[in-house]
A and B are shown apart, each in its own frame.
Chain A
Amino acid sequence: DQQVKQNSPSLSVQEGRISILNCDYTNSMFDYFLWYKKYPAEGPTFLISISSIKDKNEDGRFTVFLNKSAKHLSLHIVPSQPGDSAVYFCAASDIIGNQFYFGTGTSLTVIP
């Protein structure tokens, strides 16, 4: 039962362009969403989060958009840089936050 889905296993983007990573979820009780970045042989690193009371959160080059009615969130990276090449996981939790459900990840390659 996959409650959080990332339907694109990979994405390639030219340096300087926008990267858009998508994530869908099924559980309407999810209230908090996070994006993690993971390099090979390392643990996931927190990137940005958003709670359900917002529809947008921005941190530098990273912006997360949440569409609750569509149960969809996206991560925008602009401009994309080669160092952004990594696997990006979205994760979701209910308001208690005791357990997070992860998507399968999207491997982003930023081409110089």
Chain B
Amino acid sequence: EPEVTQTPSHQVTQMGQEVILRCVPISNHLYFYWYRQILGQKVEFLVSFYNNEISEKSEIFDDQFSVERPDGSNFTLKIRSTKLEDSAMYFCASSGERGVAYEQYFGPGTRLTVT
């Protein structure tokens, strides 16, 4: 069964450093998402992406964040200068269509630890 994959599974970085979290969505999907979950808190939407541009982003997704689909398979989230409060699980998701009839498939997540 097709699945969303994410690398690395765990990333440790120092405050102020740049990190890139990578995702490989399901191959025929067109809509891509990033979510994060701070330990003990709810899953929060960060950004959605379609046709090589951001469709929607939350207040969390400020100028420190960017997303890119550099090739036909990868979907990346970059945090330019990490802060301690960026420590969280980051989940990538993809769906075949946007909208209510199509569910998002989630990857296993990348745990980001900022020290």
CB distance from A10 to the nearest CB of B (A): 13
Please tell me if the beta carbons of B42 and A96 are within 8 angstroms of each other in the complex: no
Q: Which residues of A contact B65 (CB under 8 A)?
A: none
A32–B103 alpha-carbon span in the complex (Å): 11
Assign chain B's interface to a size class: 20 to 34
Q: Which residues of A contact B41 (CB under 8 A)?
A: 104
Q: Does B75 contact A (CB under 8 A)?
A: no
Q: Which residues of B contact A34 (CB under 8 A)?
A: 103
CB distance from B92 to the nearest CB of A (A): 8
Q: Count the A-B residue pairs with Cβ separation under 8 angstroms: how many?
A: 60
A58–B43 alpha-carbon span in the complex (Å): 25
Question: Which B residues are within 8 Å of any A CB, using their own CB?
Answer: 4, 6, 35, 41-45, 48, 55-56, 58, 91, 93, 98-109
User: When A34-B103, A42-B109 are in contact, do A102 and B98 touch as well, CB less than 8 Å?
Assistant: no
A96–B4 alpha-carbon span in the complex (Å): 23
A14–B108 alpha-carbon span in the complex (Å): 29
User: When A43-B91, A43-B107, A45-B106 are in contact, do A32 and B100 touch as well, CB less than 8 Å?
Assistant: yes
- Complex interface residues of chain A between 37 and 80 (CB less than 8 A to chain B): 41-46, 49, 51
CB distance from A5 to the nearest CB of B (A): 10
A66–B15 alpha-carbon span in the complex (Å): 44
Partner of B48, one of A89, A99, A104: A99
Q: Does A19 contact B (CB under 8 A)?
A: no
Q: Which residues of A contact B91 (CB under 8 A)?
A: 43-44
What are 11 sample pairs from A and B whose C-beta atoms fall under 8 A apart? Answer: A32-B100, A41-B109, A42-B109, A43-B91, A46-B105, A89-B42, A96-B98, A97-B98, A97-B100, A97-B102, A102-B35
Contact with B along A97-112 (1 / 0, CB 8 A): 1111111110000000
Please tell me if the beta carbons of A101 and B45 are within 8 angstroms of each other in the complex: yes
Q: Which of A32, A46, A99 has the most CB of B within 10 A?
A: A99
Q: Which residues of A contact B103 (CB under 8 A)?
A: 34, 46, 49
A104–B42 alpha-carbon span in the complex (Å): 4
Please tell me if the beta carbons of B43 and A98 are within 8 angstroms of each other in the complex: no
Partner of B99, one of A46, A97, A104: A97
